[in-house]
Structure 1
Amino acid sequence: MTQNEPSKMRGLMLVAGREIRVRGLSKSNVISLVVTVVIVGILAALPSLIGGDDSDTRVGLSGDTAPAMQAQLEAMGGFDITVFDTADEAERAVEDETVDAAVADGSLFSLDGIGNEDETKIDAAWQTASVQTNLSDAGLSDQQIGEALTVQPLEFVTLESEGGVSSTLDYFTGLIISIIMFMMLMTPVQYIAMGVVEEKSSRIVEILLTSLKPWQLLGGKVIGLGVISLVNLIAMVAVGLGVSAATGMLSDLPPGTAGAAVSSIGWWLIAFALFGTLAGGVGSLVSRQEESGSVLTPLIMSLTLSYLGAIFLLNAPTSTFAEVLSIVPPFSGIAMPTRMAITEVPAWQIGLSALLLALAAAGALALGSQLYKRSVLYTGSRMKISEALRRAA
């Protein structure tokens, strides 16, 4: 190795550093990151914003059933209870807006009504308290009353949507992860291909290859854009989880959501290695920017199908199709982290999916590097993949 020739790793890092400085620190990328992070933060806060005011409902009680109702409502939670001596005092408290509603003389008083959920809870508490009071007046002991009121809760079985997402929040969470994964793969993949074509059409690549190896040039480009995208992805995940924790929604998410969101970074890295190196390889097959769309179409279609598959499995995450989709590459790159966010996935399926995706990424790395090496200096009409592989390295 001559004195002017950079070492292998130094040359790789020089190219990566150039990509980070030119694209990562560009005004457009910074603005895009800020806007995207703000959108993710809003989406993460949206469930709590839609949920409305979380303050306790102020309820006034009076009459013989007041003590029993107070115990029932306190056990339910979400109520600020005031007990009044007479029904008139309770009704006057509603008129003065001291309380939001009052239960007196068998009636629920309010100025303009209260939420359906609160009405249902108060009505259930009233009926239970009335039964408890009647049983006490009939001479039953507290223990006998407790035994009479103890029943097994209903077991909820949903037949039509069995195997589907259990709540709107679960669906919403999986949707956000699939969208982020799709966008954070689509954008850098296109940048890599367009960057390769740009350097080739301007003949800058011919100058760069006098001091760098083809694999250093392609690898540095993939690493540089990968670092930029990785920073963006980590920022999105951190903001999403941070806002969810700040708004108190993190505990309401499916048990594996936080872990799936963090692990999505690892899934993204493998998927990016697969699509990124292929993008660089197929980008080198053409010499003009207007031709790059034709060679990128198979990659874009694969990413789009992966995203659409992830959207499909949101409705049936435990179906056979969802299991296959989340295991088979390249679809697993988006499908598996999405599925992990909304349902419990067996460890063997996660491990098998990661292994197959890593093997596919290794194969893509070998293919992409060979395509780039054999066709990056070629000028003229679009070269076919088979033709490029037959050319001498």
Structure 2
Amino acid sequence: MSAANPEPSRLRGLLLVAGREIRVRGLSKANIVSLIVTVVIVGALAALPTLIGGDDGDEKIGLAGANAAAMQAQLDAMGGFDITVYGTAAEAEQAVEDETVEAAVADGSLYSRDGVGNELETRLDAAWQAAGVQTNLANAGLSDQEIAGALTVKPLEFVTLESGGVTGPLDYFTGLVISIIMFMMLMTPVQYIAMGVVEEKSSRIVEILLTSLKPWQLLGGKVIGLGVISLVNLVAMVAVGLGVSAATGMLSDLPPGTASAAVSTVGWWLIAFALFGTLAGGVGSLVSRQEESGSVLTPLIMSLTVSYIGAIFLLNAPTSTFAEILSLVPPFSAIAMPTRMAIADVPAWQIGLSAGLLALAAAGALALGAQLYKRSVLFTGSRLKLSEALRRAA
């Protein structure tokens, strides 16, 4: 019976450390305030396209003349117009003067107080042309069915011959938000893990803890605890971002894969956090003072920064060779692939290969980080070199 006890004890030790991290850091006032502020910022960013787009209400347009009915049908088909039909051109013109409508079309003339924008002018002109053709066909004796057949044209089929960039500013904005969230949600907890390890080591608390816990339990619990805190924050951000987008009507306007990419971001983050988090704990154990932690963290911070900058460049050409390589090679793929998935159609084999390579890299990082921590956490004094730590007896 006693042989069965060690396993639950090991798991219990791991969970005790994780629980302590969650209580101390997750429930701290600083973390709660930070979460609230971050969620508010994400919500504001999600609503930003709607806010800068101004009033999305229908354009108020007046119509008059022989083609009014036909043009109204065209504008109704286009959508986005609040149409008022007037009996005469003079009434339509007066409505513009009174600012009842923004513009009016009557007997071949477009009335406005101080001009209309290019987009509105183009749409009204296209509707006028189509209405004129429809009226001419009706005057020629064609039935409504024959007119509908004559006006029905198969839309263009879009064929892209070269690797292109992002289709529009909304795509770029969406990818940018995802890359920023991934970067921040990896950078912050990674630094917390390293600083926590150094703090416990410099205060000699780790020596007391290791009398009843294994090194892997101590490091693993710290990574899991901070991982749970960060995961809650990340899920809250994704939920708020998608919720605000849905509430403002922007979700349907986002690129087709945006929602699934945002949800899958959680999965990519988990793998990336396992990679960077355990390495942070391992390299943090190489030093005994907080002021030295920056030097050992520099490689990790630089790789995260390069990953983020690469994802920003990727936004301009998500289907380029550079983007494909960046989104496949770890650790850069941790940020590059979810960003690319949000703005372009990525082949399933590339997603699978990227996830597999990142998971393998995370497994290697787990092994390396655990060994570094195990061999260095009780070493005091000057900074321990990586090569020296690996040569030390376990």
Structure 2 match to 1:333: 334
Measured after TM superposition, the shift of residue 385 of structure 1 is 1.3
Aligned residue runs from structure 1 range 341-380, under 5 A: 341-380=342-381
Measured after TM superposition, the shift of residue 130 of structure 1 is 2.3
What secondary structure does 2:287 align onto? coil
Measured after TM superposition, the shift of residue 386 of structure 1 is 1.3
Identity level (%): 84
Cα separation, 2, equivalents of 1:106 and 1:335 = 53
Do the aligned residues in 2 keep the contact of 1:6 with 1:212 (CA within 8 Å)? Answer: no
Structure 1 match to 2:77: 75
- Aligned AA (1:287): S
Q: Please say if 1:92 is aligned against 2:94.
A: yes
Residue segments in structure 1 that go unaligned for 5+ positions in a row: none
The one of 29, 32, 35 equivalent to 2:31 is 29
Structure 1 match to 2:213: 212
Single out whichever of 162-171 and 329-338 deviates more from structure 2.
Answer: 162-171
Cα separation, 2, equivalents of 1:228 and 1:280 = 16
Measured after TM superposition, the shift of residue 26 of structure 1 is 1.2
Residue segments in structure 2 that go unaligned for 5+ positions in a row: none
- Aligned AA (2:115): G
Structure 2 match to 1:126: 128
What secondary structure does 1:58 align onto? strand
Structure 2 match to 1:176: 177
What secondary structure does 1:7 align onto? helix
Residues 158/363 of structure 1: CA separation in 2 closer, same or farther (3 Å cut): closer
Cα separation, 2, equivalents of 1:301 and 1:52 = 39
Measured after TM superposition, the shift of residue 193 of structure 1 is 0.5
Cα separation, 2, equivalents of 1:33 and 1:144 = 62
Structure 1 match to 2:316: 315
- Aligned AA (1:355): G
What secondary structure does 2:265 align onto? helix
Q: Calculate the aligned-residue CA RMSD, in Å.
A: 2.1
Measured after TM superposition, the shift of residue 378 of structure 1 is 0.4
- Aligned AA (2:389): A
Structure 1 match to 2:253: 252
Cα separation, 1, equivalents of 2:50 and 2:90 = 37
- Aligned AA (2:216): W
Residues 50/156 of structure 1: CA separation in 2 closer, same or farther (3 Å cut): farther
Cα separation, 1, equivalents of 2:356 and 2:163 = 30
Aligned residues: 391
Cα separation, 1, equivalents of 2:226 and 2:144 = 70
Measured after TM superposition, the shift of residue 106 of structure 1 is 2.0
Measured after TM superposition, the shift of residue 112 of structure 1 is 3.4
Q: Deviations over 1:309-367 (max 9, x none)?
A: 11111111111221111111111111111111111111111111111111111111111
Residues 296/373 of structure 1: CA separation in 2 closer, same or farther (3 Å cut): same
Residues 182/53 of structure 1: CA separation in 2 closer, same or farther (3 Å cut): same
Aligned residue runs from structure 1 range 35-184, under 5 A: 35-142=37-144, 145-146=147-148, 148-154=150-156, 162-184=163-185
What secondary structure does 1:166 align onto? coil
Single out whichever of 54-63 and 40-49 deviates more from structure 2.
Answer: 54-63
Measured after TM superposition, the shift of residue 189 of structure 1 is 0.4
Structure 2 match to 1:19: 21
Do the aligned residues in 2 keep the contact of 1:62 with 1:87 (CA within 8 Å)? Answer: yes
